[in-house]
Amino acid sequence: MRKKILSILLCTAMTVGMLTGCGFNDKSEKSDMGDGGSDATALPTNAVSGNADAEDAFVVWGWNEDIQKILDGPFKEDYPDLYERIVFVNTAGSDFYQTKVDEIIGDESNSLYPDLMGLEVDYVLKYVNSDYLLDVFELGIQPVNYANQYSYNLELGTDQNGRVKALFWQATPGCWQLKANFCKEYLGTTDPDELQKKYFSTWDKILKTAKKVNKASGGKVKLLSGYEDTFRVFSNARKVGWYKRGEDKILIDNQMQEYMELAKKLYEGELTYNTDQWGADWYANMEGDGKKTNAVLAYTGCPWFTYWSLKDSWKNNTILVAGPQRFYWGGTGLAATVGCSDKKLAGTIIKYFTCSKKSMIKINQLNSDFVNNKAAIQELMTGIVSCDYLYPEAYQNILEFYLPLADGIDASTVTAEDQSINLMWNTQVKEYVNGNKSANEMMKDFKEEVHDSYNYLSIE
């Protein structure tokens, strides 16, 4: 197993490195599907805050400002002395985060060696199942401390031997996020229940809705910006992942086949603008007015997507519906490395982000996260004002909306190689959708590409 984990570390770093070299630049800092960058060879420079050369420096790594904002905000207020020791390394994007981490994680003598690091769902198991991370028990964190967390997040941070190595501060139930003024104009209602039942409860209804909006607007408003916006709805609703644990055979769940066929229908029907997710055109459609500029009625997302991705024209103009099937999207785990310079401080930070009801309420009020703590969510629902700045109360109670969706999340299909395999899949789907390959050719090429990158995964 150790040989396989080392292979994952090497292959994933090479794959992500090649994608970066081809111009992938993580516009979203959340996504594993980047848009084109101007520099085809160089990785962006890390942004480092704090004094890494200080004797008591404690180094935290992330790929954007999410972790840093919490450290700079409520954590600093509650632990000002500990905060002064923190050095934050921002790699400026998740597409190359692993490349940079993998270059340094074996060198404890480096001044920027991570004491604590963020881990995204698409590759968290790569590190959790390695020897690079500490069991949270060594940080003074007991099961009683994380008893209120959602089970799927706990499973994502647990290695194959049952050791908990990463804990998450977000729960990320998925939904469809609709622009209310376009719902009123083209669907005739802003009532969430009516929208869900009449227009978004099945994939057939979604296709009909896409046609309705496209025709009524003369093509100036589409239901979705691109078919890629449905990828997470399908990929995170699978029954099996890209392979089953212990079998190492490449698998393609029926959900993924349904995704490629829906993508083909949307493309051939000209029902989207065929934008790449996170690209400039994709963002432009988010702000379009539907008259002089192209616009989009819906994006698929989750709590972080709303506060991080949606633009100002969605403020007080957003309605959430569950859509045809349950899914989730992302989330960030925190883990301490084996060379962590201060296990007590690591435990304090992880507890603050992921275990303490009081501090997790503060995180929600800071950024609208649906926090990974059931007790905190219940208290927020009893009257504490949540920072749902995009959601008008006239439409729905957001915490009540997300609660049943969060309770049912299943992340058992996640594999250590998801980030790079997802990229391979979407590249091949584009070839199929554009008519460059048949379905059989696309499937064959996809499996061969995965096997070439991860030779322990067999085609048959």
Lookup: tokens for 357: 């009801």
pLDDT at residue 315, rounded to an integer: 86
Which tens digits make up the pLDDT trace of 165-185?
Answer: 999 999 999 999 999 999 999
**Residue 1 banded pLDDT, cuts 50, 70, 90:** very low
- When pLDDT is averaged across residues 69-98 and rounded to a whole number, the result is 95
Residue 14, pLDDT score: 44
Give Cα separations from 388 to 307, 317, 391 (angstroms): 8, 12, 6
pLDDT one-digit tens code per residue, 369-411: 999 999 999 998 887 655 655 565 657 788 889 999 998 899 9
pTM of the model: 0.88
Return d(Cα 154, Cα 147) in angstroms, integer.
10
Q: For position 82, what pLDDT does the model report?
A: 98
- pLDDT tens-place string over residues 216-260: 999 999 999 999 999 999 999 999 999 998 889 999 999 999 999
Structural domains of the chain, with CATH: 2-172+329-395 (3.40.190.10), 180-328+414-453 (3.40.190.10)
At residue 13, the pLDDT reads 46
Residue-wise pLDDT tens digits, 298-353: 999 998 898 888 888 898 899 999 999 999 999 999 999 999 999 999 999 999 99
Residue 44 has pLDDT above 90, yes or no: no
Asked if residue 265 has pLDDT above 90, the reply is: yes
Q: pLDDT tens-digit profile of 103-159?
A: 999 999 999 999 999 999 999 999 999 999 999 999 999 999 999 999 999 999 999
Q: In the Cβ-directed half-sphere of 413, how many Cα atoms lie within 13 Å? A: 23
- pLDDT, tens digit, 9 for 90 and up, residues 11-37: 544 444 433 333 223 333 333 333 333
What's the full length of the chain, in residues? 460
More confident residue, 291 or 37: 291
